[in-house]
Chains A and B, each alone.
Chain A
Amino acid sequence: MADSVDQIFVHAKQWLMSPLEGHIPDCLIQIVSSLLNIAAVLGVFLTLFALMSVLERKILGRMQNRYGPNRVGPFGLFQPVADGIKMLIKEDIVPARADKVVHFMAPILIAAAAILVLGVIPYGRNMTPFVIDGGILFFFAVGSTTELAVFMAGWGSNNKFSLLGAMRAIAQMISYELPLIITVLPVVMVVGSLNPDKIVFAQESYHFGFVPHWFVLTPWGATAFILFFVSGLVESNRTPFDVPEGESEIVAGHMTEYSGFKYATFFLAEYLGMFAVSGLAVTLFLGGWHAPLPGLGFVPSYVWFFAKLSVLLFGFIWIRGTLPRIRVDHMMNFAWKFMLPMAFTCLVSAAVWHYSGRRLSGWLWSFAIIAVVYFALSLLLDARRKFTPRTYRFAE
């Protein structure tokens, strides 16, 4: 019974496909099968995007002691529909001096890249849209297209704010892409595969019968997860790293000259990128679709995946409601002088964990290495000693 609920979507797809078998050529069947997978992914994530856009505003509202949207439909839940209609009927203004082709292509490319990376994440048992051996590599290869699209938006607009925002976006995205890629490597090392499904299967069993095998519970995994999450915040241009589109400094960064649905497309891409990075974090470090306790296996696998995804997304919103924007030089220093050395430490620490037999001693050694590097870096980067005692020249 539990198994059939778990596989309900896989069976539904087989049932939909069964009338076609034998009637049309194999190649067409594969295309129909792909289209069904794509329709499922797009349907789920567009619904999630609509929900997230209203829930984010409501949660932020509660954090700031106000109600948030509550007028359109029950509890303001139809707000995304109203927003969508408004975006569709707004006039789409393209500046006369803009590079029309590049200006038009940028939102399409950014949305296409954000949709494409959702294809390699395992959403449940047998529920990966497409299984390729280099899935993780595909994710990063397609994901980094976003940088190109952001720069196209900035350059094509021929606006000073846009170009400034695009330059800042490129600088911060390339700086944080290194920790993002290098923190994935320890997991790939330990599993020995770039295939997301194999990475999820490697986190299947439980220590002592109840502690899950998730990589986030090892010292190198926990460090890599935090670094990955912070880099993910930057890659999706979320607060506190929203320097490229800092409203109070450069209007809206690379989106300044966009209006109508092209503007909405950038938001769609930002949210889909956030879902993709959170989904990859769940896959790599939080055990994918596995249950956190052995007795909870009767709950369908996709429920666990989306529960973990929601926790991470709530983290994104919480951070946005809590932290102020970081200054650009602080952000770059943090990337190169802290995140990158710590990411390399994770790599070495995971190797030590592997060579000392993946047991408690390995756990302690790996913890020791990370702690030593962390304290060395924090002593090196301590900015407090630069400050002199404050003198009140005019108050005295």
Chain B
Amino acid sequence: MTPNPYLFIVVFAGVAITFPLLPLALAWCWRRFFQPPKPGAEKNAIYECGVESIGDAHVQFRSQYYLYAIIFLIFDVEAIFLVPFAVAFTSLPLGAFVAVLVFLLLLIEGLVWAWGKGCLEWDVKASNR
């Protein structure tokens, strides 16, 4: 009997999701029978260092986060392209490796361009100083 690993993944995913729910259910039972909740306007307010929270928390964030996310996307896709190459590497001729090296260099060139352009600076003001 060879076990089917993909059946195992399904079972494991089910257990993994159920597992954190168990203590939460236990805590819910405790609250239900022994510790009735006493909500209040201030107790259930958003925490902000003792003062009342002003406005919505979902504010605009600086664009640096977005630039990093885009560069990450490019290199993450590249990493996925490299995985099949890596698996086949030992049976590949040298020419194939050189071809992948060219692909790598093109992407590193992209990284160098982003670096020179200042996309990799977290604090733009500090880098201009």
Contacts and interface: CB of A to CB of B under 8 A. Distances in A.
Interface of A: 26-27, 29-31, 33-35, 37-38, 42, 87-89, 91-98, 107-108, 111-113, 115-116, 119, 129-132, 137-138, 155, 157-163, 167, 170-171, 174-175, 177-178, 181-182, 185-186, 188-190, 192-194, 251, 256-257, 260-262, 264-265, 268, 328-329, 332-333, 336-337, 340-341, 344, 347-348, 351, 354-355
Given A97-B46, A178-B76, A347-B104, A192 B120 contact: no
A247 B111 CA distance: 33
Interface of B: 1, 3-9, 11-13, 15-17, 19-21, 23-24, 26-28, 30-31, 34-35, 37, 39, 41, 43-49, 53, 56-59, 61, 65, 68-69, 71-72, 75-76, 79, 82-83, 85-91, 94, 97, 101, 104, 108, 111, 115, 120-123, 126
Contacts, number: 208
A107 B47 contact: no
Given A30-B7, A171-B68, A340-B111, A112 B19 contact: yes
Contact of B57 (A159, A329, A354): A159
Contacts of B126: 329
A302 B48 CA distance: 48
Nearest to A348: B101
A175 B9 CA distance: 28
Contacts of B12: 34, 38, 115-116, 119, 129-130
A188 B79 CA distance: 12
Contact of B82 (A185, A262, A354): A185
Contact of A107 (B3, B20, B57): B20
Given A112-B13, A158-B46, A160-B53, A188 B86 contact: yes
B115 A337 contact: yes
Given A94-B44, A131-B5, A257-B46, A158 B79 contact: no
B83 A108 contact: no
Given A88-B27, A332-B68, A332-B120, 5 more contacts: A26-B1, A158-B58, A188-B87, A329-B121, A336-B115
A263 to B, nearest CB: 11
A336 B31 contact: no
Given A161-B47, A188-B87, A130 B79 contact: no
A256 B68 contact: no
Nearest to B11: A34
Contacts of A174: 68-69, 72, 76
B23 A88 contact: yes
A312 B24 CA distance: 31
A236 to B, nearest CB: 17
A30 B4 contact: yes
Given A88-B30, A159-B57, A192 B8 contact: no
A170 B87 CA distance: 29
Closest 7 CB pairs of A and B: A329-B122, A111-B20, A189-B89, A112-B16, A115-B16, A188-B86, A192-B90
18 contacts: A30-B8, A31-B7, A89-B30, A96-B44, A108-B20, A112-B13, A112-B20, A157-B46, A158-B57, A163-B57, A163-B58, A174-B72, A177-B72, A182-B79, A189-B86, A332-B68, A341-B111, A344-B104
A328 B122 contact: yes
A192 B91 CA distance: 8
Contacts of A193: 87
A92 B75 contact: no
A336 B111 CA distance: 9
Nearest to B89: A189
Contacts of B37: 91
A185 B21 contact: no
